Structure 1
Amino acid sequence: GIPGKKCGTVIVTAEELGCCRDSVLMQFCANKLDKKDFFGKSDPFLVFHRSNEDGSFTICHKTEVVKNTLNPVWQAFKISVRALCNGDYDRTIKVEVYDWDRDGSHDFIGEFTTSYRELSRGQSQFNVYEVINPKKKGKKKKYVNSGTVTLLSFLIETEVSFLDYIKGGTQINFTVAIDFTASNGNPSQPTSLHYMNPYQLNAYGMALRAVGEIIQDYDSDKMFPALGFGARLPPDGRVSHEFALNGNPQNPYCHGIDGVMEAYYRSLKSVQLYGPTNFAPVINHVARYAASVKDGSQYFVLLIITDGVISDMAQTKESIVNVS
Structure 2
Amino acid sequence: MLTGCLMICLFLQVAIDFTASNGDPRNSCSLHYINPYQPNEYLKALIAVGEICQDYDSDKRFSALGFGARIPPNYEVSHDFAINFNPDDDECEEIQGVVEAYQNCLPKIQLYGPTNVAPIISRIGKQAAGKEPIKDASKYHILLILTDGVVTDMADTREAIVRASYQPLSIIIVGVGNADFTDMQILDGDDGVLRSPKGEPVLRDIVQFVPFRDFKTASPAALAKCVLAEVPKQVVEYFSHKAIPPMNPVLDSTPSSIANTPD
**TM-score, length-normalised on structure 1?**
0.48
Q: Deviations over 1:2-48 (max 9, x none)?
A: xxxxxxxxxxxxxxxxxxxxxxxxxxxxxxxxxxxxxxxxxxxxxxx
1:322 partnered with 2:160: no
Alpha-carbon distance in 2 for matches of 1:243, 1:256: 19
Alpha-carbon distance in 1 for matches of 2:53, 2:92: 14
Asked if 2 retains the 8 angstrom alpha-carbon contact of 1:234 and 1:271, the reply is: yes
- Structure 2 stretches of 5 or more lacking a match? 166-263
The residue number in structure 2 matching 1:173 is: 11
The residue number in structure 1 matching 2:49 is: 211
Alpha-carbon distance in 1 for matches of 2:28, 2:20: 15
Match of 2:28 among 190, 193, 203: 190
1:307 partnered with 2:148: yes
| CA shift for structure 1 position 163 | 5.2
Letter in 1 for 2:112: Y
| CA shift for structure 1 position 298 | 1.3
Asked if 2 retains the 8 angstrom alpha-carbon contact of 1:183 and 1:308, the reply is: no
Bigger RCO (CA 8 Å, 6+ sep): 2
Asked if 1 retains the 8 angstrom alpha-carbon contact of 2:11 and 2:58, the reply is: no
Alpha-carbon distance in 1 for matches of 2:109, 2:17: 12
- Structure 1 stretches of 5 or more lacking a match? 1-160
Alpha-carbon distance in 2 for matches of 1:277, 1:269: 19
**TM-score, length-normalised on structure 2?**
0.59
| CA shift for structure 1 position 296 | 3.1
Alpha-carbon distance in 1 for matches of 2:152, 2:93: 31
The change in CA–CA distance for 1:289 and 1:188 in structure 2 (over 3 A counts) is: same
Alpha-carbon distance in 2 for matches of 1:246, 1:215: 20
1:236 partnered with 2:74: yes
Letter in 1 for 2:137: G
Q: Deviations over 1:184-212 (max 9, x none)?
A: 11101100000011111100000001111
Identity between Structure 1 and Structure 2 (%): 56
Letter in 1 for 2:139: Q
Letter in 2 for 1:176: V
Structure 2 counterpart SS, 1:275: coil
Alpha-carbon distance in 2 for matches of 1:273, 1:163: 43
Letter in 1 for 2:153: D
Q: Which segments of structure 1 move beyond 6 Å, counting only runs of 4 or more?
A: none
Alpha-carbon distance in 2 for matches of 1:163, 1:239: 45
Alpha-carbon distance in 2 for matches of 1:318, 1:195: 33
Alpha-carbon distance in 2 for matches of 1:314, 1:300: 23
CA RMSD between the two structures: 1.5
Bigger Rg, structure 1 or 2: 1
Structure 1 counterpart SS, 2:35: coil
1:259 partnered with 2:97: yes
Asked if 2 retains the 8 angstrom alpha-carbon contact of 1:222 and 1:256, the reply is: yes
Alpha-carbon distance in 1 for matches of 2:59, 2:102: 20
Alpha-carbon distance in 1 for matches of 2:35, 2:88: 30
Total equivalences in the alignment = 162
Structure 2 counterpart SS, 1:267: helix
Match of 1:225 among 55, 60, 63: 63
Alpha-carbon distance in 1 for matches of 2:82, 2:91: 8
Structure 1 counterpart SS, 2:142: strand
Match of 1:270 among 82, 85, 108: 108
1:200 partnered with 2:41: no
1:245 partnered with 2:83: yes
Spell out the pairing of 1:142-181 with structure 2 (5 A cutoff): 164=4, 167-181=5-19
Letter in 1 for 2:35: N
